[in-house]
């Protein structure tokens, strides 16, 4: 049976999920009712669905010219916004459907995802979706695609994932245009793990693409990157999208493997599975290691305990290998974890997944980027928290990560965006026109200047139409300093920040104003100071109160008094005491807003 392995890539909201549902429905894998139920669902369910059904690969059968094709649709694990995640899925495919919204046209991530597919050497099937919309301009968008990406406009398939129009042509093109998998059936087993997850009953479930040979039930296997430990395949199969057990996955096929693996650390995304008795001489190239660029701390919050948070992260990392964590403790927030992410959005997604999938509450500190430090004695190393910065007298140079950012905007947003980028120390590189109405601006800009609220600013500067994408281009030296925050004379490590000297004072001052609003008055006056080294650069004061809160209710009824006390106690639980000052957890996030 001919096999076609493909993935769908798109800019967010261009209809990737709807189109995949439509494809599944067309192949009879889901019913019309399920299709409607799913697409009309709200975000919560959409996300859950994305994880339960399409975490990895769905196999459908399709009759084309009298031949039965096995179409394996490999979805990107986690969220599609991250190139790295997209790249992982793409490596398991021969083709990609590139979806573009017929009303919105090519966006920043359309370009980024298309390049990822081209780099992975995939055959691209361009699709213009949502042609049913009154504002759709399919031909125009096809030309745009040709202009920006060099994809032949006449190759585009016009579809509506919503009404089903054009889907038949798309499925036929999957069969005719995409090449079949090219592995060697007579070689020892080599299977690429492109995703995995933990199931309470089955242990680790690894999603694989068989590159060479075949994998069978009962076979002894091992992971080439993990030494000699052997496992016996207890079940394998594919999702159709129902889980369907089968006896073997052959060359080029995609599916899942269960082998009673209880140790989460034994399975690594990107590793190669081989036969334990007849191992392949060489592992598959796997995935390039990624460098994490954004870091923050997660501490257990609300009712969540430290151990619960750790267990949840152990499981999550199995499903998203580009996120990392290590134990951390802070004077102010107790025991938690220092976590590394590919970028800001990645951070948000991980936090959200912890909350949704594991019912965990976290307190997150402000994100920072990685800095490269060169000491006077020539030693070079990286730090991912301001508190790790050595004494300034030992530092020769601090280097910060720079990104090349492509911003796609309607032409009338250009002025506002240029101002925004200038304010954030961006270096202008070039302007490219997409037709007459839209522009791609390229800037090189410090990542640290983008991690706070850049995206929101971009959206408001362009009435929501601007989109951005970036890649890290390396470290550059900058006039950077650490600003420490002293509360009542005590330095609060979790509030330190590294920033450019030119705006250190302004940021320090803003943070103090925020803090002042967050920290309650105490019985004594509390000075708040921002300092660079020993030099105070800004100061605010929280005035003292002399009275207990219940004093307000003097003479009032008892229940109201009790309520107030309860409320005060409730608030206290989420306080951290530094020296003799109670700092609410919200204050640790004030630094986020001070970044503006």
* Contact set with ligand GTP (CB under 6 A): 10, 12-18, 39, 80, 129-130, 132-133, 160-162
Shortest Å, Cβ 49 to ligand GTP: 10
Of 264 and 345, CB closest to ligand GTP = 345
Nearer to ligand GTP, 13 or 596 (CB): 13
Q: Catalogue the E-assigned strands of 301-333.
A: 324-330
Over 403-455, what HEC string results?
EEEEEEEEHHHHHHHHHHHHHCCCEEEEEEEECCCEEEEEEEEEHHHCCCCHH
Least spacing, CB of residue 104 vs ligand GTP, in Å:
10
Nearer to ligand GTP, 39 or 324 (CB): 39
Residue 388: alpha-carbon gap to chain centroid: 25
Which run of H or of E encompasses 143? helix 138-149
Task: Provide, rounded to whole angstroms, the least separation between the CB of residue 130 and ligand GTP.
Answer: 4
Q: Which is nearer to ligand GTP, 131 or 407 (CB)?
A: 131
The rounded distance, in Å, linking the Cα atoms of 506 and 222 is 56
Distance of closest approach, residue 46 Cβ to ligand GTP, in angstroms: 6
- Using CA of residue 103, residue 104, residue 105, residue 111, what is the dihedral sign? negative
**In terms of CB distance, is 12 or 376 closer to ligand GTP?**
12
| Residue 347 CB, nearest approach to ligand GTP (Å) | 17
- Name the minimum Å distance from CB 132 to ligand GTP: 5
Q: Are 401 and 293 in contact (CB under 8 A)?
A: yes
User: Quick check: 23 and 44 in contact, CB under 8 A?
Assistant: no
**Is the CB of 46 or the CB of 374 nearer to ligand GTP?**
46
Residue 523 CA to residue 541 CA, distance in Å, equals: 13
Whole-number minimum distance, CB 76 to ligand GTP, in Å?
Answer: 10
Q: Which is nearer to ligand GTP, 96 or 257 (CB)?
A: 96
Distances (CA, A) of 58 to 31, 76, 235: 15, 12, 17
The rounded distance, in Å, linking the Cα atoms of 70 and 312 is: 35
Look up residue 323 and give its two tokens.
Answer: 């996120």
Helix or strand (DSSP H, E) at 138: helix 138-149
Radius of gyration of the chain (CA): 27
Residue whose CB is less far from ligand GTP, 133 or 418: 133
How many helices (H) and strands (E) in the chain? 14, 34
Q: What is the DSSP string of 463-515?
A: TT--EEEEEEEEEEEE-EEEEEEEETTEE-GGG-EEEEHHHHHHHHHHHHHHH
Give the shortest CB-64-to-ligand GTP separation in angstroms: 23
Whether residue 139 contacts residue 111, with contact meaning beta carbons closer than 8 Å, is answered with no
The candidate with the shortest Cα–Cα distance to 276, out of 156, 186, 188, 402, is 188
Q: Least separation, in Å, of the C-beta of 48 and ligand GTP?
A: 12
Q: Is 28 helix (H, G, I), strand (E, B) or coil?
A: coil
Q: How far apart are CA 520 and CA 491, in angstroms?
A: 18
Q: Name the minimum Å distance from CB 146 to ligand GTP.
A: 21
CB nearer to ligand GTP: give 20 or 292.
20
CA distance 227 to 504: 49
Give the nearer residue to ligand GTP in terms of CB position, either 357 or 372: 357
CB of 128 to ligand GTP, least distance (A): 10
Distance CA 335, CA 590 (A): 20
| Under 8 Å between Cβ of 271 and 280 | no
Please choose, from the candidates 203, 210, 287, the residue with its C-alpha nearest in 3D space to the C-alpha of residue 248: 210
Cβ at position 2, least distance to ligand GTP in Å: 28
């Amino acid at each position: 049976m001919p096999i076609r392995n493909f993935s769908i890539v798109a800019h967010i909201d261009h209809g990737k999920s709807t189109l995949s549902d439509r494809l599944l429905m067309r192949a009879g894998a889901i019913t019309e009712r399920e299709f409607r139920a799913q697409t009309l669902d709200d975000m919560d369910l959409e996300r859950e669905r994305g994880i339960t059904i399409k975490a990895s690969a769905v196999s459908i059968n399709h009759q084309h010219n009298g031949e039965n094709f096995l179409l394996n649709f490999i979805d990107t694990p986690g969220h599609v916004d991250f190139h790295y995640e997209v790249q992982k899925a793409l490596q398991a495919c021969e083709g990609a459907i590139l979806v573009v919204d017929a009303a919105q046209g090519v966006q920043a991530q359309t370009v980024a995802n298309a390049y990822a597919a081209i780099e992975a050497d995939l055959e691209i099937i361009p699709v213009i979706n949502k042609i049913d919309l009154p504002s759709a301009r399919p031909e125009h968008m096809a030309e745009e695609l040709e202009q920006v990406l060099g994809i032949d406009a006449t190759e585009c398939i016009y579809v509506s994932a919503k009404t089903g129009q054009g889907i038949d042509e798309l499925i036929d093109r999957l069969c005719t245009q995409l090449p079949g998998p090219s592995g060697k059936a007579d070689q020892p087993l080599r299977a690429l793990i492109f995703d995995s997850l933990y199931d309470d009953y089955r242990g680790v479930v690894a999603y694989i693409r068989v590159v060479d040979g075949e994998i069978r039930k009962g076979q002894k296997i091992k992971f080439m990157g993990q030494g000699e430990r052997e496992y016996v395949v207890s079940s394998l199969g594919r999702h159709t999208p129902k889980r369907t057990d089968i006896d073997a996955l052959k060359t080029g096929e995609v599916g899942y493997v269960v082998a009673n693996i209880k140790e989460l650390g034994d399975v690594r995304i990107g590793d190669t599975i081989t036969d334990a008795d007849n191992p392949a001489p060489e592992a598959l190239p796997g995935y390039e290691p990624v460098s994490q660029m954004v870091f923050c701390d997660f501490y257990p919050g609300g009712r969540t305990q430290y151990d619960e948070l750790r267990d949840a992260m152990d499981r999550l990392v199995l499903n998203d290998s580009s996120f990392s964590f290590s134990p951390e403790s802070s004077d102010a927030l107790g025991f938690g974890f220092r976590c590394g992410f590919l970028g800001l959005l990645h951070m948000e997604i991980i936090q959200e997944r912890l909350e949704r999938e594991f019912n965990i509450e976290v307190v997150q500190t402000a994100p920072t980027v990685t800095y490269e430090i060169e000491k006077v004695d020539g030693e070079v190393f990286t730090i991912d928290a301001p508190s790790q910065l050595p004494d300034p007298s030992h530092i020769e140079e601090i280097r910060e990560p720079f990104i090349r950012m492509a911003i796609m905007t309607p032409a009338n947003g250009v002025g506002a965006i240029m101002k925004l980028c200038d304010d954030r120390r961006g270096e202008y590189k070039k302007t490219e026109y997409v037709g007459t109405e839209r522009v791609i601006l390229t800037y090189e800009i410090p990542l640290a200047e983008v991690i706070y609220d850049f995206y929101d600013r971009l959206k408001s500067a362009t009435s929501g139409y601007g989109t951005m994408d970036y890649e890290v281009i390396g470290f550059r030296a900058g006039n950077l300093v650490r600003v420490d925050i002293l509360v009542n004379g005590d330095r609060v490590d979790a509030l330190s920040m590294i920033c450019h000297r030119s705006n250190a004072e302004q940021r320090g001052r803003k943070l103090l104003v925020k803090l002042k609003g967050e920290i309650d008055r105490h019985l004594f006056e509390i000075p708040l100071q921002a300092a660079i080294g020993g030099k105070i650069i800004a100061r605010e004061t929280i005035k003292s109160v002399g009275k207990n809160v219940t004093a307000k209710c003097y003479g009032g009824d008892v229940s109201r008094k009790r309520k107030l006390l309860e409320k005060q106690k409730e608030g206290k639980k989420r306080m951290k005491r530094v020296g003799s000052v109670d700092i609410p957890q919200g204050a640790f996030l004030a630094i986020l807003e001070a970044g503006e």
